[in-house]
Amino acid sequence: MLRYQDIPYQFNVTSYFVDRNLAEGRGERPALIVDGRAVSYAELASTANRIGNVLHELGVRRGQRVLLACGDGLEFVASWYAVQKIGAVTAEVYTYLQPKDYAYYLEYTQAEVLIVDTLTLPGVRVAAKDARYLRHLLVIGAIDTDLRGNELDFEALVSQAPVELQPAPTTRDDIAIWKFTTDSTGAPKACVHPTHSPLLSFDWYARGVLGINADDVVLPVPKLFFDFARDLTALYPFGVGGAGIVFGERTTADRIFELIALHRPTILVNVPTMMSAMLSHPDAATQDLSCLRLCVSAGEALPAELHRKWSERFGVEVIDGIGSSEAYHIYISNRPGQSRPGSVGKVVPGYTARVVNGDGNELPDGEVGTLEVSGDTVALEYWEATEKSATTFPHSMAEYLGQTRTVRSGDLFTRDADGFFHYRGRADDLLEVSGVWVAPTEIEHCLIGHQDVLECAVSGYTEEGLTKPRAYVVLRPGATVTADELIEYTRDRLAPHKRPRQVRFVDHLPRTVDGKLDRRALRELA
């Protein structure tokens, strides 16, 4: 297992994950499959070099943030590595945001260069009017676009740029990556990561747990702005000469089945919501997923019943785990051949994890508490959020750089006697029902076991001053089950105080931009 001390002091992310493949004779191997076309490591490297030279010409220097707001494709991946190669800092955002959201990110990152595509350009134009720091917009796909002011044609500049680029002499401790997370206020904050975080995460999780290898081809369900998918698709495979599949359009069950049939990937990066959608697809029974050796799930809790249904239908092993932007990636995970449905697995080598009470004392197995994780990939801080950093990261960046760091999560867990961790929800999502704390996820996981339930989410409502659970349910097409029948279904499966008092049927559940259940929006539903 790689240790922080084993990493050379001078370390560049792009040199390791892209250029090393050329140096070791893998230049012609496919790094990406984009719209059915194989992009070799040599092409990816040369494209990243050209983009890096363009960024240099635009005045981007080491330590400066470059904001990416573009769809999945070669341009996104190559731009990400170009920023890393010149020693700047990558920060990427969703491509379907409102102008006010782009305005927030521009102000927060103080990015002087923003890489966009024609999809995001209209919203960014509105946001850019009052942007104090933005100097240049690099527009991908601008051939039929009337560019204005500080907007530049991405392809025209890249095609004319030199193909050679020396990597910046970055060190293993230089700031390299911002990963955004959203707190209870809804305002995204950046988790600040140095260059050694992606390398250690690759070695500990991708290689140590998943056994990723040169023959693996990874297909992601989430889009690449979501770092869970980006790292598994366009970072970890590159560490061993593997490949990732990238597609620009929105993800649907139909498209995932099409891409599996066309490219026969070996790893599917999934989330429970899409797993449920794939299971309920009318052609699910005829789909051939035998090429997949693993389906990786994270991002939200995976109910044991959904895990079971997936395994029975598709015969593909699910490796469920949990991670966070605060700790860079996955830190607790099941293992191939050793998966325990209903759990998120055991601690990934390189990390330690404890279930603690409010005083920070470790709790015995079986007791519910908050999760505390330590390891060398934990973020240094939240950018410009001193108070929040102090409560989440019990260390200072100056004191702990190069030493093991700790993150105090808001997640509730239990650990069993075998060392498997079980997710019990977020501390701030608990409902106090009849004087007892209830985790909404327990009710949700029960209802998802009903054959007619496609998705489910639970929140509390107040009646005569008392908090009661209400379930919002998305039914499978053609289902006829009633609300009373679903409440009755929980009678023999849940304690009386945990049963939902109301069931409301909805067409869809509110979700955040990265596909997670939006519990804040759920609580606001009438």
Rounded to two decimals, what is the model's pTM?
Answer: 0.88
HEC letters along 389-427: HHHHCCCCHHHHCCCCEEEEEEEEEEECCCCCEEEEEEH
Domain of residue 462, CATH code: 3.30.300.30
Q: What contacts 246, CB < 8 A, 6 or more positions away?
A: 32, 33, 34, 72, 73, 74, 76, 77, 224, 233, 234
Query: For residue 510, what are its two tokens?
Result: 């509110």
pLDDT at site 403: 65
* Four-CA torsion 379, 384, 389, 395, nearest 10 degrees: 60
- Strands 318-323, 330-333: pairing kind: antiparallel
From CA 297, how far away is CA 301, in angstroms rounded? 9
Q: Are residues 435 and 419 in the same domain?
A: no
| 48 is a domain residue | yes
Closest residue by Cα to residue 114 from 144, 84, 79, 156: 79
pLDDT digits (tens, 9 = 90+) for 342-363: 999 999 999 999 999 888 899 9
pLDDT at residue 39 tops 80: yes
Q: Are residues 492 and 513 in the same domain?
A: yes
pLDDT at residue 388 tops 60: yes
pLDDT digits (tens, 9 = 90+) for 509-521: 988 766 678 887 8
Q: Are residues 355 and 468 in the same domain?
A: no
Give residue 318's Cα distance to chain centre. Answer: 17
pLDDT at residue 185 tops 60: no
DSSP classification of residue 205: I
Return phi, psi of residue 275, to 5°: -60, -45
| 206 is a domain residue | yes
- Of 269-278, 485-494, 514-523, which range is least confident? 514-523
The backbone region for 133, taken as left when phi is positive above 0, alpha when psi lies in -120 to 50, beta otherwise, is: alpha
Question: What mean pLDDT value characterizes the chain?
Answer: 92
Query: For residue 475, what are its two tokens?
Result: 């039914």
| 2 is a domain residue | no
pLDDT digits (tens, 9 = 90+) for 243-271: 999 999 999 999 999 999 999 999 999 99
Domain of residue 313, CATH code: 3.40.50.12780
Residues of the chain above pLDDT 70, percent: 96
CA atoms within 13 A on the CB side of 402: 11
HEC letters along 442-493: HHHHHHCCCCCEEEEEEEEEEECCEEEEEEEEEECCCCCCCHHHHHHHCCCC
Closest residue by Cα to residue 383 from 187, 61, 108, 91: 108
Q: Are residues 515 and 392 in the same domain?
A: no
Single-letter residue type at 151: E
CA atoms within 13 A on the CB side of 427: 17
End-to-end CA distance of the chain: 51
Q: Are residues 143 and 274 in the same domain?
A: no
Question: What residue numbers bound the domain in which 421 lies?
Answer: 196-426
| 178 is a domain residue | no
Q: Are residues 360 and 279 in the same domain?
A: yes
pLDDT at residue 486 tops 80: yes
From CA 346, how far away is CA 40, in angstroms rounded? 36
At 186, is the pLDDT very low, low, confident or very high (cuts 50, 70, 90)? Answer: low
Query: For residue 225, what are its two tokens?
Result: 């702005």
Q: What H or E segment, with its residue span, contains residue 126?
A: helix 121-128
SS3 percent helix, strand, coil of the chain, rounded to 5, is 30, 25, 40
Measured at the CA of 354, the angle between CA 212 and CA 324, to 5 degrees, comes to 45
Please name every residue paired with 432 in a beta bridge, in sequence order, or none if there are none.
Answer: 437
- Of 115-129, 185-199, 255-269, 509-523, which range is least confident? 509-523
| 274 is a domain residue | yes
| 32 is a domain residue | no
Query: For residue 365, what are its two tokens?
Result: 């197995």
pLDDT at site 360: 87
Q: Are residues 132 and 270 in the same domain?
A: no
Of 400, 426, 452, which residue sits at a domain end? 426
Q: Are residues 320 and 373 in the same domain?
A: yes
- Of 57-71, 80-94, 384-398, 476-490, which range is least confident? 384-398
Single-letter residue type at 316: V
Closest residue by Cα to residue 430 from 455, 411, 406: 411
Query: For residue 47, what are its two tokens?
Result: 């494209």
Residue 394 contacts residue 378 (beta carbons within 8 Å): no
Question: What residue spans of 20-66 are helical by DSSP H?
Answer: 20-23, 41-57
At 184, is the pLDDT very low, low, confident or very high (cuts 50, 70, 90)? Answer: very low
pLDDT digits (tens, 9 = 90+) for 416-467: 999 999 998 877 777 878 666 788 888 988 998 898 998 899 988 887 677 8
Of 407, 426, 445, which residue sits at a domain end? 426
Q: Are residues 159 and 135 in the same domain?
A: yes
Q: Are residues 411 and 453 in the same domain?
A: no
pLDDT at site 402: 56
pLDDT at site 358: 84
Our count of domains for the chain comes to 3
Q: Are residues 120 and 202 in the same domain?
A: no
Of 406, 426, 446, which residue sits at a domain end? 426
| 144 is a domain residue | yes
Q: Are residues 44 and 151 in the same domain?
A: yes
Return phi, psi of residue 259, to 5°: -70, -35
Say how many residues make up the chain: 526
Q: What contacts 58, CB < 8 A, 6 or more positions away?
A: 112, 113, 135, 136, 138
Domain of residue 59, CATH code: 3.40.50.980
pLDDT at residue 395 tops 70: no
| 185 is a domain residue | no
pLDDT at site 518: 82
